Each structure stands twice: as structure tokens, then as C-alpha cells.
Amino acid sequence: MAATQKWVGQPLKRTEDPRLLVGDGVFIADQLFPNLHHAAILRSPHAHARIRSIDASAALRLPGVVGIVTGQDAAKMTRPFAVGVRAPVKYYCMAVDKVRFVGEPVAVVVATNRYLAEDALDLIQVDYEPLSAVVDPERALAADAPLLHEEVGSNLACHRHIVYGDPDAAFADAEVVISERFVFPKYGSTPIETYGVVASFDRTSDVLTIHANFMGPFILHPITARALNLPENKLRLVVPPDIGGSFGIKTGIFPYMSLVGLAAMKTGVTVKWIEDRREHLLASSSGTDRIAYRELAARRDGTILAMRTRWYDNVGGYIRTPEPGCSFRPIGNWFGAYRFQHLEADANVVMTNKSLTGPNRGYACGHLYFEIERMVDLLAEKIGMDPAEVRRRNFIQPGEFPYRTPSGGLYDSGDYPAAFEKALELADYAGLRRSQEQARADGRLFGVGLAVAVDPSVSNMGYITVALDPEIRGRPGYLPKSGALEAATVKVDPLGRIIGVLGSAPQGQGHRTVVAQIIADELGIAPDDITIVDEMDTFTRVWGISSGTYSSRFGSVGTSAAALAARRLRDKLVRFASYLMEVPPESVVWSEGGAHHANNGQVLTLKDLAGRAHWDVESIPPGMEAGLEATAVFAFPEAKAPDLQDRVNSSNTYGFIAEVMAVEIDPDTAAIKILKYVTVHDAGEIINPAIVEGQIYGGALHGLGGALYEELAYDEQGQALAGSFMDYLVPTAHEAVKIDIAHVVSPSPFTTLGAKGLGESSSMTVPAVLANAVTDALKPLGVHIRELPITPSRLWHLMESARSKR
Amino acid sequence: MKPPPFEYHDPKTVDETLAILGRYGGEARLLAGGQSLMALLNFRLASPAALVDLNPVPELSYIREEGGQLRFGAMTRQRQIEFSPLVASRLPLMIEATRMVGHLPTRTRGTIGGSIAHADPAAEYPALVTALDGEMVLRSASGTRVVKPADFFKGFFTTAIAPGEMLVEVRIPVTPAHSGWAFEEFSRRHGDFAIVEIVTMLTVDNGRCTRARVAASGVGGAPVRLRPVEEILERDGVGERAIGEASARAAELVDPTSDLHASADYRRHLTRVLTRRALTRAALQVRGNN
Amino acid sequence: MAEPRKVSFKINGAVREGTTEPRKLLVDFIRDDLGLTGTHIGCEHGICGACTILFNGEAARSCLMLAVQADGAEITTVEGLAAPDGTLHPLQQAFWEHHALQCGFCTPGMLMAACDLLRVNPSPTEEEIRTGLSAVLCRCTGYQGIVDAVKAAADRMRSSN
């Protein structure tokens, strides 16, 4: 721990803000480059079709057009991207012989400006042979379903059947068994800044430089390099100073890095492509839609014994890395907050004629907790017990941490009952139940919902290999995958000011502010005296394949690296000072930005030490490396590869969320009004409470969007129905709800500062808590929410059909 | 999402505008506030040979009262209407409706004429003129004609404006004495086009409903005036029972379709619910006003 | 192709001129021709509001206007909001204090829409602020910090007038 925590824990205003507030932010579209040309992408209007031919001759003749790239170029100059499954899916950066979803890139025009490039698109003639399409993942597995990838032989990209414990015995012993089918929709966080890539190829050094608002994981750097047939050290990936939001979505930009890189290599000019909103909604990335079947075995006293689950994850036309993460990212927390020991999971990852999927805030956890928390409520209803009491009876207890889940997760710390009770208290749960009684007596539809979640952060890169059969992972010569690391450097300039260098790629999380707070405490100085640089450049930063700003990483792994680097530097400063003072290091104490002799009052400030070290290198003691800087690479010790029983600690820190929501439903219009929403979080030590609350507000609204408004809908023929913000409904300030937020603090024993990630936060719980609240409100009608989003039209139909049955 | 190439004209008068329109023989489009057409151009869903910009035509921007009507130049901004003291005093229902048209920054440029000529089936102004029996004044090189809403709105994004013709004025009767009104709309988010909207104006004299005006939109290709509903109210008054009957009748009269946001059945149901709400609110208000 | 046209307008207090194809969007002209990249593009169909500017003092979408239509107009973008000496506008200051931005991409549009909102309604209720700001989409903040900031700025602007 730092000697004193003066800055950590304070809601400091962000150092990032002034630039952004006056319009001086530098986003990818704002950057200037020499010899800049602009790309536009021709996209498939068909969900599934064979490309017979492409005639781009008229487009090439258009003045201002400097080149056109088609699938033939991709087939010649690039390779398919590596995929995380055994199925031999050939996923190129653009369609080569077939298109498999509406919006798939078919050709790229490079021209002197974007207007002309789009004009040229209109002149390209593509001869398609339309094929029948399939969008439903269960239907796609039928023997007569249209086949997307002939070389795969079926639309199943990956299948795993995994058993922990003895679920069959648990189900045989159960007093209560519940089963349900759930549908989780396809939605994405649609950052207001779309994708942007600028690529230029230097023929003298053979280096392709790509600027992109990409935020990791940087495993996609080698994957992109290999797809472009480039050695990894010939692909320079630079992230702009500012990224306009991602929420996981910008992971899906890597195929465009390859596509625009290909265009730059072919045309020899610098190529800039800024995705437009239509392209974004049709063909960037979204969360995975899922059909899930779940069974729960329990005793009449509410004890959950086991679950069985089978799901069909719809990854769209091609399985794109890091999918099938939606199936396996939460493997360590598949048991949620509960103590049951037996689970059978049957994961089916299916390709259909929809756009491609990937991480979206709460990756896979929105799905998981929608299912688990609905099941817990169904159990409560079945046995006639208050849903709060059922949860109490099943929580992992505070004395059990660190807690190893049957699937290998290692929950680092927590006090689930305390956080849960705090949420109930804050919401006045008993009072809400009384209001409900009154409301029901008056014929009103008033409901109270609960949901809890174990909030995983910092993915262990090893989890994804669970997609492979243990038989493969057990073969001699198989190279296991594991780990989660982040690096930071802290250095002192010749006048004693501090610069911190990060390899992260934030999209609004305030890394500069937070790291300045941390370093300030570690070195006993003020955050204003620290400059933080966080612009990722694969040629200059220290990074690993897990690097990047995703899976709520920074709050635990990034801050740990920064604190460690600062401590390492402080230790060096102390040793240097003790040498100059001619005393043993033990008699020197670092505080208030200087080295203090424990007894005689002698002080050497940071400035003194910097001056000596920089201007008089001779003063550095023998055996000490010159230079006042320290780099730390923090890697989690528990991020190991999956074992042959499919157990893996899929994340590294695990927070906790407990929520209560009260709603009232208009019986005439089926409109849902949220009356109260309480969320209690345990993210360990909190470094900047303002930033933490901002993440919770934002995460909750993403959950609300997915639960009520947002859906990337398709018709049966695979036509996308939400190609604009007129049809893809992002919640506005008017739809956002008031939130009562509270915290419980269970420091993580695995991070330097005890902090955990919380960037995904309530995005993973709102679908569950809302579905539970709405179901509870509609108890008089017997309506159960099994499918999202709960649109007024859908809800009214459910209510009508329930009314007609009564 | 950049507009395709087009010739651009910025005439200063209506006559000049008509002359340019005539030259292009139906291949030119008029650009009003641009809040829909510019988006269509950016999506390349429209690619006219020429855009004729009405923004520099000052004679198309005015609000005045004449002949028992408020008369709006086609280029009158929605924002001007929203903050017009004349509209506030003579036709407050229109202020209520205007606040539901998009958002303040889109009303800055958006015009009444543009909204009506675009004829989105769920837009507010088409519903308003339909309910209140407004008039559209169309001009062409060969003269001027006045068209009633039922003849003007032909279906989804389709109007009676002929090639070479332009909408120059919109006329809406001012609020009669002893009236109450309401604009009820149900949308998924604030500022969206409605799933269903109901506009009503009730005039009640000495306890008798002498004049009822009810229109629905979002329930088909064009807003519909619900004359049989009005007849129920004019016959039976604006009590709870009559409103119930009128609302049920409204749901029978509409012929909605299903889309991404709502099913046809739900729209029909909402027609009933919102008609009841609108009529109840208007009736309450008229009682307060009397 | 249509002939390029001359366009001249006052932006953030300075007269700027240029020549442009008539189809060029005002937002592209502001960003690319004038180099004022504070105004952002998020949807190009008038929904997200990232490109909101003040056009003759009133908030408007610069993605739904042609550059040629701005001839003779007076425009303010986010770059023109702070005082010439760099003092932040009360809205900017309040956004900073209330953590009303994360990635900052929607912020310029949000600020310009908020400016207009407070001009037409200097003492808005929370409900009126939410309705007014529904003109601009933000995906980071859940809007709470923004609503708080606008409220605080309104209070400050009223008390300083």
C-alpha cells in the first residue's frame, strides 16, 4: 500500500476533459495524413448469394478513383483470419466467392474524396446468384437448412458438452425441477464514433502502418498481420489519442484494418475509411443473439442443486475472433453467485445469415444472468417463497472466499449477503412489497424485480480455448494459452516531473486521471505534476496479446501495473537517496515527494534526485542501473490455461452486483414505467468514485437499451430491418432512469490496490432485473418474460393472450 | 453516407422556383428544411437531377391570420411556430403538436411545408391538418389550387403535388370558441415518429357537442379523419359513454399495418386507447373552458 | 457535376470563405475545409446530434445542411464556446465538474444543444432538460452527469445575469 492514500478514492475531475470540452479532442477522423485518399465500401444487399462476377471498369474510369479492391485481391494477397474453433471457416476481410450477410464488404473504392468514392460504388456491377438464407440458429442446424460454408459441412461452428459435478444425480434427487426457454436479442452498444482506419504502406521498409480506433485485445494484431501476410514487426498499429466509445464493439474493427491495409498496399496511397452509421448498423459488430434452454433442480426449501443448460449462440455469417467468447467468456462464473455444484452445459455456436458478433458490454453475462436470475425467480414462484429469500439461501458466504467454482473460477473476494441486503434496504424492499399489495388491490400492475450477478473482469486469454475439445488440448505439442497482463512505465524527467506511459486504449474511462491519482499517492506528489501518455503504438509500447482496454480490465490490471511501476521507481529513488546520504536504505523513508532520513531530518526531494541522476550520472551508485524510470508488467498469477476437465479461471477479479427494480405497467398500452432502480456494487477498492458511478450509469443504460429498445432485427430472408437510428432505438436522456447507487468494498487480494474492474457493470443485470420486475408486475395475468427486448407491442400481445386464456 | 451529385439552385422567388421546376420536368426536388430529404440524400435513397433550395425564398415564410384560418408559408420553421404568440393564442393545439415534431435542433430548420409534403404516415403536422380540416395551397406555372387533406395525402410518402407544382401555404382553421383539444401520441422514445397518434378538437356549446374533429395517424399510409367517430360525439355528446363508443368505433375504422415497432393489432388497440385518452382530455378541457 | 460555388460565413466570430461542390455537407465543410474538427459526425441522418452547431444562434444539425446553405450565416461550434481568454463557458465548466462526459465524442453536440435549450428556457426543470437533451445521443454516461451539469450551469448562468 502507498504510505498515504491522499488521492486514490477521491472523485477528482478528469484531466482528459478540458481538451474534449473545447473541441480539441483528436479522434481518428480528425487526424491529418499526407497523400490521403478515401475509401468507400460496396456491401452486399443479399443475405446469402454467390458472386458470379464483379465489373468495376466503369467505376475505375471515374475521375478521382485511384483503385478498387475486390474479393479476388483478397484471395490473392491475404489469408483467412485465424478462427478460435476447429471448423475450417474461411473468413477473409471481404467476400471472396459468396456473401453470407447483408452488408458484407464486396468491393472497396479508393478515391480522392469520400463523395467520389461513393459515386464510384454506384457504378460497380455485381452479378449475384441469390441463395436461400437462414437467420434462426436452431433452424440453421436442421438437415435441410441453407449451408453457409460448404467446406465446414454444417452451420455449426463449435459444439461443446461440458459437465461439472453430477447433475444427473442432482436432478434425480430434486424435489422441484423447472425448465424454461429464453431468447436473448442481438444488440450492440453503437458507439457514437464509428469505426475508422487509416492505412499506409511504406515500400522502402515494407511496414504497413495502421491507425485505427481499435481497443484490443491485441491478440488481434498478430492475427491481422498474418492475414495480410506480414511479419508481426512489419505491422505498426497506432491508436489515436481519443476513441469515441467502444463498449467492446470496436474489437470487431480488425477485419477492416486488414481490408483498408490491403487497399493501401494495392493502391500505394494512404487510405482512410470512416465507417458510416448505416455500415455500422449492418456490418460492424454486435452482441450475440441466443436461444437457451435451462433446467433447474432444487429442494423445496429453496436450495438450488443443479442446472442444465443448452444454448444456440448465433455468431452470424462467419465466426470471428474472439467468438465463441459469448459461449465461454463467463465459464468461471457460470454458477453466478450461488453455491450449487452441478452443471451441465451444452454450447452450440451457430453461423447464420446475420452480421457478425463479438464482445458487447457485459459480454455473455447479460445472457447468463438473464437466464439464471429468471430461473431463480421461477423457483421462488414455484415453491411460494420470496425471491429475496431464495437468493439468500443460495449465496456463497463471505467466509468462503477466495471461492473456487466447480468450473474453475476463483472468486477473489466478496460479501454477497451484505451487498444484497444493502440493496434491499436502500430500495425499501418491504415497503415496495406493501405498495405492491395496495396496487394489486387497486387493479394496478406493479412489480418488483431482483437480480444479482458476479461481475467478472480481466479476461484470462486462456478461456477461449475451452472451445477446443480437451482431447485436442491434451495432445502432445499443443501450446496452451493463458494470461492477462498490462504494462506501465513511470519516469522522472530531468527537473523532477513525472511521466507515466501506458499501453492501454481507453474510450472514455479516464485512465490518465486514475493513473495520475495512483502515482501521486505512491510518490507523494500531486496529480497535476504528473503527465500520463496512453496512446497505444505497437512499435513503442510494452504489450502482450491480452493487452487492450476491454473486459473491464483497467480497473484491476492496468492500475496494478501503474502502482507497481511507481513503487519500483520509488524503491530506486530511496536506494539512490540512501547512497547519496551515505546511510542504509532502511533508514530512508519516502514521503511527500522526497526521501527523508529517518533520524537527522535530511531530505532529498524528487527534484534533487532527478537533478543528480540526470545531470551527474557519476552520482549513481555502483550496481544501480542509470536512468530514473521503472516499467512493471503486471500479470495475474491465477490466469492459467484450462485444465482437461474444462475448468478455467476465466477472469481474474470478480465483483458483485445486487439490484432491485420496481415497475408499473400501463394495462392499456403495455408501457413500462420504472419507478425505482437500486444498484449496489462491490468492485473492491474504488480509485475514483465519480468515474465508477459514470460507468454504472452508462452500463445500466446499455442494459436498459437491450432490454427495452434496441434490436438488430432481421426478417426471415435475412434482410436487416434496423439500418438507421430511426429504427435502431438508442435510449435518450428522456428514457434514462434515475439510479440509486451504493457500494460495498471487498478488496481484491490479487490486485496491487485491491481494486476490481467494473466497466461492464449493470449492463449485465438490467435485462434480468427488468424481466423479473415486469414478470412480477404481470403475475395477476400469469405473463412470463422469456424474450427481450420487451417492446410495448410484444408485451401487449403477451398480456392479451394471457387475458384471453383467463 | 454522402449525397450524390446534383445541380443546385437557390431561387429567390416562387415564380423563379416554378420556372426551374419546369425546366427539370419532375427530375428536380425542392429542398425545404432538409430534415428528411437531406437524410434521404445522405443514404442515397434519393438522387434528383437537381435540388431547388427554398430556403432563400422569403415570401414563403410567414404566419398570419386570415379568413378564420392561420396561414403558414410553406417555409415557416417549426421552431417559429413553436414560439409564435399568434399560434399560441389562436391554435394552442398546434403548439402541443409542434413540440412532438422531432427535437428543438431539428425544428430549427424543419418547416411545416416540408413535413406535410414529405407525408410521413406518422408525422404530426399531416395528422393535425387532417383532423382540423386544413388546406394545402399548391402553385404551379398554370395557377393555384387548394387541396383538402383527404385529397392531398395519397399514401406512404405520397401526396397530390404534381410535377412542376409546389406547396406554398398551409391553412388551418383557428380554434372555435368553447373548444377543447388534445394531441395524444404513443412512441417508443421521445421525439420519434409515433406508433399511433390521435388528434382531436371538440366544440361544445350549451352542453351539446356541435363540432367534433378526430384524426388518427400511424395507422396506415396516410392520416385518416374519423368522421363516423365525430358523428357519434356530435350525436351523443362527450360523456364517458359516448367517448367509449367513439373510441371503439375509431379502432374499427383504421387499417394499420405491422412493422418493426408494432403489430397491426397493437396499433388498432392503441387507436382505441389513445382516442379515449384524447377525447377524455379534450372533453375535460372544454368543460374547463366553458 | 455541378459547378463549385463560393461560400462565406462567420464562424466563431471570424469570417471564413471557401469554394465547394454544392453537395458538400456543412459538417464536412466545417471539419475538412475549415479544420474545425470539434464538430463530430455520428450518423449523418439527423438522429444522434453529434454534429449539432448553432446556426444563426439556434441549434441545428450540420449533417442535414449543405455548406452552400450557410452562405452569409453566423455559426458557432464547440470551438467558439469558451471565452477568447480560454475561460470555459459555464456549460463546459459544469460538464467538467459533473463528470458529464466520458469518451467526449457526443460532447460538442450535447453542449451546443444545451446552449440552445438554456437560451429558450433559462430555468428548465429536470424533465425539461431530459426532453431537451433527447436531441443528442450519448452512449457513455447514462445522461445523469449531463442532466446534473446542465442544471448546475443554468443556475450559475441565471445568478450571474
Over residues B201-247, the pLDDT tens digits come to: 999 998 899 999 999 999 999 999 999 999 999 999 999 999 999 99
Query: Can you read off the three cell numbers belonging to residue A434?
Result: 406493501
Domains: count for chain B: 3
Please, where in chain A does CATH 3.30.365.10 lie?
289-463+640-712+720-805, 485-635
Cβ neighbours around B25 below 10 Å, total = 10
Which whole-number Å values give the CA distances from C11 to B105, B250, C30, C34, C61, in the listed order?
Answer: 18, 52, 9, 10, 15
Q: Which of A243, A697, A730 has its CB closest to that of C144?
A: A697
Question: Of B128, B156, B173, at which residue does a domain stop?
Answer: B173
The shortest CB-CB distance from B104 to any of C45, C63, C117 is to C117
The verdict on a CB contact (< 8 Å) between A698 and C133 is: no
Same domain, B91 and B31: no
| Chain A: residue whose CA lies nearest to C31 | A30
Over range A621-637, report the average pLDDT. 94
Q: How far apart are alpha carbons A209 and A224 in whole angstroms?
A: 12
Chains touching C (3+ CB pairs < 8 Å): A, B
C-alpha cell at B169: 401555404
CA distance A252 to A358: 7
Q: Round the average pLDDT of chain A to a whole number and report it.
A: 97
Which residue of chain C has the CA closest to A725? C47
Considering the domain architecture, whether residues B64 and B158 belong to the same structural domain is answered as yes
Please write the tens of the pLDDT for every residue from A548-575. 999 999 999 999 999 999 999 999 999 9
Phi, psi (degrees; rounded to nearest 5) at A587: -95, 10
| pLDDT tens-digit readout, A692-714 | 999 999 999 999 999 999 999 99
Helix (H) or strand (E) holding A456: strand A445-459
Contacts B3 to A, Cβ<8 Å: 115
Which band of pLDDT confidence, cut at 50, 70 and 90, is reported for residue C160?
Answer: confident
> Got the DSSP string for A55-94?
E-HHHHHSTTEEEEEEHHHHHHH--PPP-SSSS-----SS
Cα A795 to chain centroid, rounded = 30
Q: Which of A192, A250, A709, A729 to mutate to test the interface with C (most CBs of C within 10 A)?
A: A192
Closest CA to A732 of B191, C100, C137, C59: C137
Taking an 8 Å cut-off on Cβ atoms, the answer to whether C23 and A115 are in contact is: yes
Which regions of chain C carry the CATH code 3.10.20.30? 5-80
Residue A168 backbone phi and psi in degrees, to 5: -60, -45
What integer pLDDT is reported at residue A599 of this predicted model? 87
Contact flag B1-A731 (C-beta cutoff 8 Å) = no
Q: How far apart are the first and last CA of chain C?
A: 51
pLDDT single digits (tens) A176-186: 999 999 999 99
Facing residue for C42 by CB, picked from A20, A243, A277: A277
Topology of the domain covering A289-463+640-712+720-805 = Aldehyde Oxidoreductase; domain 4 (3.30.365)
Question: What is the topology classification, in CATH, of domain A485-635?
Answer: Aldehyde Oxidoreductase; domain 4 (3.30.365)
Spatial distance between the Cα atoms of A607 and B192, rounded to a whole number of angstroms: 59
B5 to C1: CB separation less than 8 angstroms, yes or no:
yes
Distance CA A39, CA A264 (A): 10
Burial pattern C13-22, b for ≥16 Cβ within 10 A else e, equals eeebebebbb
* CATH 3.90.1170.50 assigned to A36-132+212-274: yes
Q: Which helix (H) or strand (E) holds A108?
A: strand A105-111
In chain A, residues with a C-beta closer than 8 Å to the C-beta of B191 are: 732, 734
Q: Which of B39, B43, B108 sits opposite C60 (nearest CB)?
A: B108
Nearest CA in chain C to B1: C44
Q: How near does any CA of chain B get to the CA of A796, in Å?
A: 7
- Residue B24 covered by a domain: yes
CA–CA separation, A738 and C143 (whole Å) = 10
What is the model's pLDDT at position B290?
Answer: 66
Residue B239 belongs to some domain of the structure: yes
CATH of the domain spanning C90-160, picked from 1.10.3470.10, 1.10.3720.10, 1.10.150.120, 1.20.1080.10: 1.10.150.120
B7 touches C at CB < 8 Å: yes
pLDDT along chain B (290 residues), means of 10: 98 98 95 98 97 98 98 98 98 97 97 98 97 98 97 97 97 97 94 92 94 97 97 97 98 96 97 98 88
> In this structure, which amino acid lies at residue A555?
G
Interface check B58 vs C, CB under 8 A: no
Looking at the fold, whether B274 and B194 belong to one and the same domain comes out as yes
Q: What is the CATH number of the domain that holds B92?
A: 3.30.465.10
Domain at C5-80, CATH homologous superfamily: Beta-grasp domain (3.10.20.30)
Q: What three-state secondary structure class fits B250?
A: helix
β-sheet with A445-459: strand ranges across: A445-459, A651-665, A672-682, A740-743
| Chain C residues within an 8 Å CB radius of B7 | 2, 22
pLDDT digits (tens, 9 = 90+) for A499-534: 999 989 999 999 999 999 999 999 999 999 999 999
Which residues 11-70 of B are in CB contact (within 8 Å) with A?
43-44
Domain span at B24: 7-53
Residue B1 lies in a domain: no
C138 Cβ under 8 Å from any chain B Cβ: no
Whether the CA torsion A417, A418, A423, A426 is positive or negative: it is positive
As a whole number, mean pLDDT of residues A470-486 equals 94
Same domain, B42 and B114: no
Compute CA distances B154 → A397, B148, B149, whole Å. 67, 11, 9
pLDDT in tens, A203-220: 999 999 999 999 999 999
Q: Is the peptide bond before A456 cis (omega within 30 degrees of 0)?
A: no
Decide: A663 and A773 in contact? Cβ < 8 Å: yes
pLDDT of residue C161: 67
Q: C-alpha distances in angstroms, A210 versus A59, A273, A280, A397, A578? A: 26, 11, 20, 49, 47
Above 0.95 for ipTM, yes or no?
Answer: yes
Q: Are residues B235 and B130 in the same domain?
A: no
Q: Answer whether A659's CB lies under 8 Å from A679's CB.
A: yes
- Half-sphere exposure in the Cβ direction for B114 (13 Å, CA): 26
Which pLDDT score is estimated for A2?
Answer: 44
Q: What is the pLDDT of residues A681-690, one digit of tens each?
A: 999 999 999 9
Question: C-alpha grid cell for residue B71?
Answer: 396561414
Chains that touch B (3 or more CB pairs under 8 A): A, C
If phi > 0 it is left, if psi is from -120 to 50 it is alpha, else beta; for residue C35 that is left
A22 vs C38: CB contact, 8 Å cut-off? yes
Stretch A382-402: mean pLDDT: 98
Residues A163/A222, Cβ–Cβ less than 8 Å: no
Q: Which of B273, B139, C11 is nearest to A668 (CA)?
A: B273
Number of separate helices (H) and strands (E) present in chain C:
5, 5
Name the segment(s) of chain A with CATH classification 3.90.1170.50: 36-132+212-274
Core vs surface per residue A37-66: b (16+ CB within 10 A) or e:
bbbbbbbbebbbbebeebebeebeeeebbb
Give span(s): CATH 1.10.150.120, chain C: 90-160
Average pLDDT over residues A390-407: 98
Per-residue pLDDT band for A365 (boundaries 50, 70, 90) equals: very high
Clarify whether residues B225 and B283 are in a common domain.
yes
Q: Using N-to-C axis directions, what is the helix angle for A387-394 and A365-383, rounded to 10°?
A: 110
Tell me whether residues C59 and B108 touch, CB distance under 8 A.
yes
Q: Is residue B2 part of a domain?
A: no
Q: Which residue has the cell 506511459?
A: A501
Looking at the predicted structure, is the pLDDT value of residue A110 above 50? yes
